Amino acid sequence: MAIRLATAGESHGPALVAILTGIPAGLLLDRDAIDADLARRQEGYGRSPRQQIERDRVEVLAGLRHGRTLGTPLALVVPNLDHRNWTWGMSPWPPEGEPSGKGTRAVTLPRPGHADLSGVLKYGLSDVRNALERASARHTAAHVAAGAVAKALLRQIEVEVRGETLDPEGLRVRIDAARAARDTVGGTIEVRARRVPPGLGSYATREDRLDGRLAAALMAIQAVKGVEVGDGFALASLFGSEAHDEIGTDRRRASNRAGGIEGGISNGEEIVVRAAMKPLPTLMKPLASLDLATGEPAQALVERSDVAAVEALAVVAEAAVAWELALAAHEKFGGDSVEDFVAAWHAYLARIDWEVR
Ligand SMILES: Cc1cc2nc3c(=O)[nH]c(=O)nc-3n(C[C@H](O)[C@H](O)[C@H](O)COP(=O)(O)O)c2cc1C
């Protein structure tokens, strides 16, 4: 059975939900490890006070018994603690009683760079909140929880995935400057996956290509506007003799400019991908917009917001890469149980005479 993921949840609604199907039976999950990834997503220099309200913790409603997956749909829930301040404004059913708390008044001031205006036009909305609640990156918490499950599966075949911010020191200086100017910044992150065996993904169809799948997964994260695999954009200005990774008699490479993928297939080297994040759209010094209620010029919505979320992006991107690699690994090795999955991996490594290192 193919592994699939569906998520649901609004930023200030009751909870975020992830349903994972196709995860093999018998996978031991560590609640603390999932919560640790959720906590890492909330940390980082430049985040908003929202992160002090939330203490993300995973709850499991189905698919797990005594810590091991059952091979049935795995239902994960991350409650939004902030929802207690929005019980009227974000009530799923028509709210009872007088309006109280947050979210009681319609938002009509779309922010340039956010989903506000395009969402309102597309869905025929009059309250921008109905667009921004789901467009918000808050629901990346559900993806991080799913990514933690993917990492547990990958660990069975010794694959490790790690995301980090490039130039964290320089970023802090830029974040301080942006905060002082009531502005925002973006930045660049990198995800590396170690000990990925050769042979994940395929050139057979466009959809199978591992580089395409990783790029799509990263590009689908809010505020990511550029992705590269290996040396990516820098390769464009090199000669072929400088750009490619020569092959040794042991089939390993002395360099890794390809970022571990050739022909849409992992080649056994470390997988290296990068993503560029634009500056966040919610500015404390707002840009020009219009008031959708009156049609008059206005300043964009000012709402509690991060100055930067690049360190959080590194964690979200790590989860996205782990998810795609787990899918590709499960496609290659299959298995309804973790034992079958691992046995197929061992048999494959023996066939190609490949030592994991
Ligand atoms: C982890 C993370 C946190 C984010 N936090 C904020 C935020 O606090 N304020 C904001 O305006 N945008 C934030 N964003 C970016 C917006 O969600 C994003 O720009 C918006 O949904 C529009 O999508 P687009 O930038 O992909 O076009 C965040 C993105 C990520 C990945």
Instruction: Read off the pLDDT of residues 24-62 as tens digits, 9 standing for 90 and up.
Output: 999 999 999 999 999 999 998 998 876 777 799 999 999
The values of phi and psi at residue 171, to 5°, are: -65, -40
To test the pocket of ligand 1, the residue of 222, 227, 318 to mutate (highest count of ligand atoms within 8 Å of its CB) is 222
- 41 Cα nearest atom in ligand 1: 1
Coil, helix or strand at residue 90 = coil
**136 CB within 6 A, ligand 1:** yes
Spatial contact of 112 and 132, defined as CB atoms under 8 Å apart? no
pTM to 2 decimal places: 0.98
Residue pair 115/103 in contact by the 8 Å Cβ criterion: no
How do residues 207-238 score in pLDDT, each as one tens digit?
A: 999 999 999 999 999 999 999 999 999 999 99
273 strand-pairing partners: 191, 229
Can you give the pLDDT at residue 337? 98
pLDDT for 48:
83
Ligand 1 pocket, mutate which of 51, 114, 184 (most atoms under 8 A from CB): 114
What contacts 94, CB < 8 A, 6 or more positions away? none
pLDDT at residue 151 in the model: 98
**Coil vs helix vs strand at 228:** strand
Q: What percent of the chain has a predicted confidence (pLDDT) above 70? A: 100
Q: How far is the CA of 222 from the centre of ligand 1 (A)?
A: 5
Residue 52 pLDDT: 73
Closest CA to 198 of 247, 251, 154: 251
Mean pLDDT of 312-334: 98
pLDDT surpasses 90 at 254: yes
What mean pLDDT comes out for the span 13-32?
98
- CB–CB of 63/20 below 8 Å? yes
| Ligand 1 center to 132 CA (angstroms) | 10
For residues 137-160, average pLDDT: 98
Establish whether residue 281 lines the binding site of ligand 1, counting it when its CB lies within 6 angstroms of any ligand atom.
yes
**Which residues partner with 266 through β-bridges?**
261
Instruction: Confirm or reject: Cβ of 150 under 6 Å from ligand 1.
Output: no
Determine the pLDDT at residue 282.
Answer: 96
Query: Strands across the sheet with 160-165, in order?
Result: 160-165, 187-194, 271-277, 224-229
Residue 308 CB–ligand 1 contact under 6 Å:
no
Closest by CA to 216, choosing from 256, 165, 280, 264, is: 264
Residue nearest to atom 24 of ligand 1 (CA): 223
Q: Is 141 in the pocket of ligand 1 (CB under 6 A)?
A: no
